[in-house]
Structure 1
Amino acid sequence: MPRYAQLVMGPAGSGKSTYCSTLVQHAETLNRSVQVVNLDPAAEHFNYPVLADIRELIQVDDVMEDDSLRFGPNGGLVFCMEYFANNFDWLEDTLGHMEDDYILFDCPGQIELYTHLPVMKQLVDQLQQWEFRVCGVFLVDSQFMVESFKFISA
C-alpha cells in the first residue's frame, strides 16, 4: 500500500504548524490518521502530537552553545539540517514501522535551507526510496496575496 508525504514549507510565520494542526484535526473528524514529523530544530511547541521530532536528534540551541562550533542562529540551523541529512536512519527507524499512510513534514522556514543546501532534495529522494509518494505544500501569509510584488517575492 502506498504511503504519502507532504513537505510543508514556507517562510517563518506563514502558518506551517497551523496547517499541520488543522489537517490532523480534519483527518480525525474523518476517522483517518495523519501523522506529523517536526523537521524544525528550533521549534518551541506544537498544537499537535508529533510522530518524530528532529530535536530528539539535534537542537539548534545545543549547536549554538557548543564553543567548538561557534554558530549563530542561521549557521546553527544549517548545521542541524546537514546533520539530519547524514542521519536519515533516525527517521527511517520511526517511519519504517508506521502503519499510517499519510505523514506531514513540518519544515523550517529559513529559505536558505531550500536555496543553498541539498538537504530537502536529499530528503525527497530518501522518502521516495522508502516508497513514499511526495508532494510539497508552500504556504505564504495571506498579506502577500494582496500586492503582486509581495506575492512574487514570497
Structure 2
Amino acid sequence: MPYGTMVMGPAGAGKTTFCSALIQHLKNNRRSCFYINLDPAAEDFAYEPDVDIKDLITLEDVMEELHLGPNGGLMYCFEFLLENLDFLTEPLENVADEYLIIIDMPGQIELYTHVPIVPQLIKHFTRGSLNINMCVSYLLESSFIIDRAKFFSGTLSAMSAMLMMQLPHVNILSKMDQVKGQVARRELKRFIDPDTSLLQDAPESGLVYEYKEGVDNGDVEEPKSVMTGSSFARLNRGVGQLIDDFSLVSFLKLDAQDEDSVGAVLSYIDDAIQFHEAQEPREPNDGLGDTDMG
C-alpha cells in the first residue's frame, strides 16, 4: 500500500516551503518520495514536482480564456482535474509502496470547507487501484496567535476541513521562528491545545471594536455596546465553544528551517498513515545506497 499526505491550509501558511523541507529531510534520511503539485498557480519550487497540475491546466489560462476570477478559475481547474483523473492515476500506479507521496495543495480554503471537490479527489486516491493510505497536513500560520480571534477562526477552518476530508489530520502551526520571543512558552501551550478561555482576555484578544467618530459604524442603537464589541465577543465565544465541544484540533509546532522540527512533524505523519507498521525489517546494510527521490 502506498502512503501519502495532502498539505493543506490557507494562503501564506508555508505549504510549499514545508513540502520542500519535508523532501529534503526524507532525502537526508534515505527515504524516497513522490512530489505532486496541485496548485495551478504555483511557479517556484525548490524541488521539481514529479507531477504538476500545470502540465494539464493552468489558472492563468483559465482566467484568460473563460474570464473567471482567481477563485472561480481554481474551481474550474479542479473540476477539469476530476474529469481527467488518469493524469494522476497513471504515474501513481508505478510508485513503490515505501515512497511517501507529498501532495501540495492550493491556499483557497473554499476547497476544504465549502465544496466537495477535494473529498472526491481523496476518494480517488484512497480507493480503487491507487489505494493510498493518506492523512492531511493542515498548516496554520503561527502569526495568527497574535490575534486570538483570528487564531480561533483559523482553528475552526482546520476543524471544518477535518470533518470534510474524513482523513487523519496532522494540524501544524507553521513559521514558528517568526513568533519566537513574542509568546511565552506557558502561553503558547494554550494555543497548541486551543484554550477557549483565551477569548476572555480582552482587549489583547482583539475582541474590542473601535468606535470612530465621523464614519459609518453600522446601524446600532447603543453605540456603547459597539465600543465594547459585545456582539463580536459573543460570536467568538460561540466559535470557541464549538471548537471546545468537538475537541478535535490540536497543533504541532513547525520551524521549516529546523530539521529536528521537520522530523518531529514527519513522525506524526508516519503515525497517522501507519507507515512504519507495514514496513518489513531490513538487514543492517539494506538500502543504504538508495537515495532515489522519484
Q: TM-score range by the shorter chain?
A: over 0.9
Matched, 1:82 2:79: yes
**4+ runs of 1 displaced by more than 2 Å?**
145-148
The percentage of counterpart residues that share the same residue type is 45
For the pair 1:138 / 2:135, whether they are aligned, the reply is no
Among 104, 107, 112, the alignment partner of 2:105 is 107
Q: Hey, what does 1:45 align to over in structure 2? A: 44
Quote the Cα distance in structure 2 between the aligned partners of 1:86 and 1:112. 20
Tell me which amino acid in the other structure corresponds to 2:25. Answer: H
Displacement after TM superposition at 1:44 (Å):
1.3
- 1:39–1:54 Cα contact (<8 Å) kept: yes
**Cα distance, 1:145 vs structure 2:** 2.8
Q: Following the alignment from structure 1 to structure 2, what is the Cα–Cα distance between the partners of residues 82 and 96?
A: 22
Q: Tell me, which stretches of 5 or more residues in structure 1 are unaligned?
A: none
Q: Secondary structure at the match of 1:137?
A: strand
Q: 1:23–1:34: 8 Å Cα contact kept in structure 2? A: no
Q: Deviations over 1:32-51 (max 9, x none)?
A: 11221000001111111211
- Structure-2 separation of matches of 1:78 and 1:131: 25
How far the C-alpha of 1:125 sits from its partner, in A, is: 0.7
Per-residue CA shift, 1:80-101, capped at 9, x if unaligned?
Answer: 0111112111100111112252
Unmatched 5+ residue regions in structure 2? Answer: 155-294
Q: Distance in 1 between matches of 2:45 and 2:152?
A: 29
Q: Is the CA contact (8 Å cut-off) linking 2:6 and 2:105 kept in structure 1?
A: yes
For each residue in 1:43-97, what CA deviation from the matched residue of structure 2 results, as whole angstroms up to 9, or x when unmatched? 111111211000001001111111xx22111111110011111211110011111
The one-letter code of the counterpart of 1:120 is: V
Q: Is the 8 A contact 2:31 2:99 kept in 1?
A: no
Letter in 1 for 2:8: M
Q: Give the CA RMSD over aligned residues.
A: 1.2
Find the residue that maps to 2:12 and give its secondary structure: coil
1:55 equivalent in alignment to 2:54 = yes
| More relative contact order, 1 or 2 (CA 8 Å, 6+ apart) | 1
Larger Rg: 2
Q: Secondary structure at the match of 1:83?
A: helix
Question: Normalising by structure 1, what TM-score?
Answer: 0.93
Partner letter of residue 89 of structure 1?
D
Residue of structure 2 equivalent to 1:64: 63
How far apart in 2 are the matches of 1:72 and 1:144? 27
Q: Is the 8 A contact 2:34 2:95 kept in 1?
A: no
CA–CA distance in 1 between the matches of 2:50 and 2:11?
22
Q: Kindly indicate which of the two structures has a greater share of residues assigned to strand.
A: 1
CA distance in 2 between partners of 1:145 and 1:120 (Å): 28
User: What is the CA deviation profile of residues 117-137 of structure 1, one whole-angstrom value per residue up to 9, with x for unaligned ones?
Assistant: 212101111111111001001
Residue in 2 that maps onto 1:9: 8
